[in-house]
Structure 1
Amino acid sequence: MPDLLHAHYTRRLRRRVMAGPLPRHVGLIVDGNRRWAREQGMADPSLGHQAGAEHIEEVLSWCEALGIRHVTVFLCSTENLQRRGDSEVAFLMRLIEQVVAGRLTRPDAGWRVHLAGLPDILPDSTARALKEAVEATRTCTTGAHVTLAVGYGGRQEVIEALRELMYVRAEAGVSLTELADTLSVDDVAPHLYTAGRPDPDLVIRTSGEQRLSNFLLWQSAYSELYFCEAHWPAFRELDFLRAIRSFAARDRRYGH
């Protein structure tokens, strides 16, 4: 009976949120994989990464069902690569290659893949798999876009954008002083990893932590934030729909 009630409530909530305003772009900070594995009694907490990687495809299907066409998934930060053990990082990279990139390139996946991050700091096989996923889905015509943030840091992204902007302007003969005098938000945005895609309307973080952890710092300036207690592998469609319901009930002021 509890399962039937849960399914019934989920269907009702799905219909309700579909009738209200929906985010165009959702950012996902997929936190809590290792904690979930420990709570499940798994000997190797890294196995939580596997459950988390496999869960991404299901969550994307929920977005697809609601007509949400832009999703950014924070898979691995620059800090993760630097601070986690070598064996854990290697395991996580294999999951990204085989589970995440592999499944998103299947003909029936329906998502065009984009990357955010520094591929040069990734293992060669991971960088290659991600680039191949981008190429394999380049002609996707569904209008659905998923950005995989791997080896990503928000501060680093802004630095890279400013550096690229300065190079471009220097080649056009613009002095550093001229650039400083005229620099605007609109000048920087085209050089971000997410150039050409909308900023996230809603950022969801699982596992109860209430911080952005260097995720889309520039793009999330006016995003609505939603923090969920469930660990990422245990994040249910009901939890997702509650986040969308919360978004729909908010009065977005964009800093005004």
Structure 2
Amino acid sequence: MIERLWAKLGKSSLQPGEPIAPHNVPEHVAIIMDGNGRWAKDRGLPRMAGHHSGMKAVKRITIAADRLGVKYLTLYAFSTENWKRPKAEVDFLMKLPQQFLEIELDELIANNVQVRMMGHKEDLPSYTISAVEEAIVKTADNTGLVLNFALNYGSRMEMLEAVKEIATEVKRGQLAIEDIDEKVMADRLLTSGLPDPDLLIRTSGELRLSNFMMWQLAYSELWFTDVYWPEFTEEHFHEAIKEYQRRARRYGGL
């Protein structure tokens, strides 16, 4: 049973040499970057070493997505639940955006990448926010790949905040109940202005969404791999894209 489920959700039967069809590349790819700690543990390294290596994978996959013509890449960098981790690890994770952008921002600008962030800024350290906001401002006019970091993000909180906003507008007479539809809801989510992901990738072998974009992923194709994020390569990314291209997206139709 589990083997059949695994095959359906992610294990590709494609031949390695099969080309990627340029006309059917997903517009928006979202990735749950999982397995940094386990990757490090398997090598006798501290968990922080896994997170640092995971940062290199971010660059690798950003380049791969851009080359293929993906327009939006959303990376789950830190969830609202990750605050439960040991303080030393959280502190390290909060410094990674600053380190990544200090090293890579000039190259992102040169490659016309636009940096965005979705999440709840109020709980983040000032140095994390400053680094991200600087990147957002400096890349605002870029028209290439949108690199969207989900940082201190949780889908349940996102939806609750959207519902509260809608309720407030109804209470003030700014919105009629009968006018509430999917677009009204979507416009109040943190992904407002972005298309829903066509493809979700999750590394490390876990088969769950972990409170990530639960509204937006309603009709996304899901692809899972047991490869840990630090060792996720351009070839693995291509494998996911090829599997996506094999599937028929019917959206409930025939």
- TM-score (ref. length: structure 1): 0.87
Question: Is the Cα contact below 8 Å between 1:56 and 1:100 reproduced in 2?
Answer: no
Are 2:205 and 2:227, in contact at CA under 8 Å, matched by a contact in 1? yes
Deviation at 1:77, TM superposition (A): 0.2
Q: How does 1:69-218 map to 2 (within 5 A)?
A: 69-81=71-83, 83-100=84-101, 103-104=104-105, 106=107, 107-142=109-144, 144-171=145-172, 173-174=173-174, 178-179=176-177, 181-218=178-215
For structure 1, the 5+ residue unaligned runs are: 1-8
Alpha-carbon distance between aligned partners in 2 of 1:225 and 1:125, rounded to the nearest angstrom: 34
Deviations 1:84-126 (A, max 9, x none): 1111001111112211475245432421111111010111211
| Alpha-carbon separation, structure 1, partners of 2:142 and 2:37 | 33
Alpha-carbon spacing, 1:163–1:104, altered in 2? closer, same or farther (3 Å): farther
- Who is 2:52 aligned against? 50
Q: SS where residue 117 of structure 2 aligns?
A: strand
Q: Percent identity at matched positions? A: 37
Q: What does residue 227 of structure 1 align with?
A: 224
Quickly say closer, same or farther: Cα 1:37–1:255, change in 2 above 3 A: same
**Match of 2:239, SS?**
helix
Equivalent residues of 2:197, 2:220 under 8 A apart: yes
RMSD, aligned α-carbons: 1.9
Corresponding residue of 1:61: 63
Task: Report the TM-score, using the length of structure 2 for normalisation.
Answer: 0.87
Identify the residue that residue 44 of structure 2 maps to in structure 1. 41
Query: Contact conserved, 2:36 with 2:230, CA < 8 A, in 1?
Result: yes
Q: CA deviation at 1:66?
A: 0.6
Aligned residue pairs total: 238
Structure 2 distance, partners of 1:190, 1:105, is 32
CA contact (8 A) 1:104 1:111 kept: no
User: Which residues of structure 2 form unaligned runs of 5+?
Assistant: 1-14
Deviation at 1:162, TM superposition (A): 2.1
The residue type paired with residue 211 of structure 2 is N
**Aligned partners of 1:105, 1:84: CA distance in 2, in Å?**
32
CA contact (8 A) 1:103 1:109 kept: no
